[in-house]
Chain A
Amino acid sequence: MSSAIESGSNQKRIRELKLLAAKIRRNVLDICMQRGGYAGQGVALADIAACLYFDELREDDNNWFHDRFVLSNGHDAIMCYGAFAEHGAYTMDALRTYNADGTVVDQSPIEGQLGFEITAGSLGQGPSQSAGIAYGERLKGSDKRVYCLFSDGELQEGNVWEAAMFAGHQKLSNLVYIIDNNDLGATGSTATTLSVEPVPEKFESFGFAARRINGNSIEEILAAFEEAKSIRDKPYVMICDTRLFVGIDCLQKTLPMAHYVAKAQADWQAGLAEIEATIEALSQ
């Protein structure tokens, strides 16, 4: 394949992922506008979700995923729901019951719910569970790769560093940590509450290969996933700098630090109009 064709193919792939990310953003708003939710995180993580679910995770024979994704911070399930609507694992009708009494679409899922490997929500427990999965998969001789998403706020949990020490010691090169580095905890800026930086250097000292990227750049996310696969003797961590609501300017301006968005808190229609316009532009 000539480099020009290769480059063209890559551009097409990136354009498709950008469109998917925009659709995920729209789905997140549609879901959260029903009864509120973690809309800012879902929107901000849409680019990572698009790259992960529609490019990086390999498919198996059952229209599911061969590789394994572990969500550690349960409230970021909204990111997965936005992507699952495009994937087909959940219908939008089902997803609109998010945050309703009695729903099976849990705001913070329990192990066994379709698409979720662990009970996520008691923060800091995904890194060690995914390390255990990666250890077991390697022991079996499987080629499955294991990905775990957690947040910068979780880095304040000691269990994360116990896991990092274990993964580094075991040289789990089939393990990739994806950190949503959005400088936001439950009450405000992580930097103010308890600084977690410098994140890459901390993980490097635990035996990881680390890269800080713009978590809303499809190109940088894909490049980091590629780099992770090229490293043979270390686990990999991608520190994804993001901010809430990246990709929907009107909501980012009004809700820059909204850990949770109540139904009445946001101008959902303005947000939807903006993202629909983005989808239309990307569909051209």
Chain B
Amino acid sequence: MSKQSDYLLASEARSINSAPFDGISHELCSRRKDVIMMSADLSKYTQLDSVKRDFPDQHLEVGMAEQNLLSVAAGVSKAGFVPVATTFACYATRRAYDQMLVCMGTSPLTNVVIGFTPGIANPARIHHQAAEDLGMVRAIPNATVIDPMDATEFGQALNAAVDLPGLVYMRGHRGNTPCLLNTGHYQFELGKTYQLRGGRGIGIIATGHATQWALEACDILEQENIDHSLLHVPTIKPVNEAEIADYCFAHEQVVTIENHQIVTGLGSLVAEIVSNIGRGPRITRLGVPNTWAPGGTLPYIREQLELDAIQLAKRIKEVSGE
């Protein structure tokens, strides 16, 4: 393990935050009175309770209407506030994509959207899952797309997001969320990539929830003495092409892991960067394949899609040839 990983990751005693957004949103609203937390009848399920209770003027409910959520939010920004529109990722993107692109994407004003239970992190299959959100928003010119890996990064990224121009789409975490990063040393910077494990064997690139999965697989690889490294890429757009290219060209084999379809998301992004240069390493993309993910508990869904720690480690080993 490299020094950098020791430095960035928390010690063995990792804490769990049972309601990360409750604290993150409360802290932000107490500090920034221009921020308006908005919800579409899901504040209870995105854990926005404390803001609603303590700062009622900074909470705006639009009802079960996501197109309205994003377009009203765009109006709120035009009155001088910073809206943070919260709902599930599937509704924020699929249901209200045109409002996101037109009302927020063409505006220079800060419009933050947080998509909770992204990818397969929702037990209700297909309609509540969102395995295509990163690709959809990545296609909007000048948008910012962030997929934080844990509660620590979620809070830091949101604090950065409210000062960025234009549309910022973030994936959110709810419920028991680990604090994996060292809160004393880690600092989120837009566009920066973070090497969490150092090694010269196979290169692993992950983002968001999938960085948690990658770390679990890395623990198995380490026990089996498989040389590897792990690069965490929280900013999907604007992407740091140079850091990703440097990392990829330092490895003969690269595996990408994402809580997303293997098309249009992180894997595609890495492949685009490498192919632009040419003669790069082979990229193996792991994530949701061209199928509907099953419903159920996250461990079950991951197992079915061969994304649980044991199967991920096995698939990485197969790619590495060890």
Contacts and interface: CB of A to CB of B under 8 A. Distances in A.
- The answer to whether A binds B is yes
Most buried by B among A112, A122, A130, A162: A162
Contact of A132 (B67, B72, B102): B72
Interface string A118-148: 1101100100111111111101101000000
A125 B103 contact: yes
A117 interface: yes
Interface residues of B, number: 27
Interface string B162-202: 00000000000000000000000000000000000000000
Contact of A136 (B78, B102, B103): B78
Nearest to A127: B71
B108 interface: yes
Given A112-B108, A117-B78, A125 B60 contact: no
Main secondary structure of the interface of A (DSSP, over half): helix
A165 interface: yes
A136 B34 CA distance: 10
B87 interface: no
Given A128-B75, A130-B75, A132-B73, A163 B68 contact: yes
A131 B80 contact: no
B74 A132 contact: yes
A142 B80 CA distance: 11
Nearest to B38: A132
A159 B79 contact: no
Main secondary structure of the interface of B (DSSP, over half): helix
Contacts of A198: none
Given A136-B78, A162-B68, A166-B72, A129 B103 contact: yes
Contact of A129 (B57, B62, B75): B75
Given A111-B107, A119-B106, A136-B81, A159 B75 contact: no
Given A112-B108, A128-B68, A165 B76 contact: no
A165 B63 contact: yes
A110 B71 contact: no
A113 to B, nearest CB: 11
A158 interface: yes
Contact of B60 (A128, A135, A137, A158): A135
13 contacts: A110-B106, A117-B78, A118-B78, A125-B71, A132-B72, A132-B78, A132-B79, A133-B78, A134-B79, A135-B75, A159-B68, A162-B62, A166-B63
Interface of A: 110-112, 117-119, 121-122, 125, 128-137, 139-140, 142, 158-159, 162-163, 165-166, 169
Given A119-B106, A134-B79, 13 more contacts: A117-B78, A118-B103, A119-B102, A128-B72, A128-B75, A129-B71, A129-B74, A130-B75, A132-B74, A135-B79, A139-B79, A140-B79, A169-B63
Interface of B: 36, 57, 60, 62-63, 65, 67-68, 71-81, 83, 98-99, 102-103, 106-108
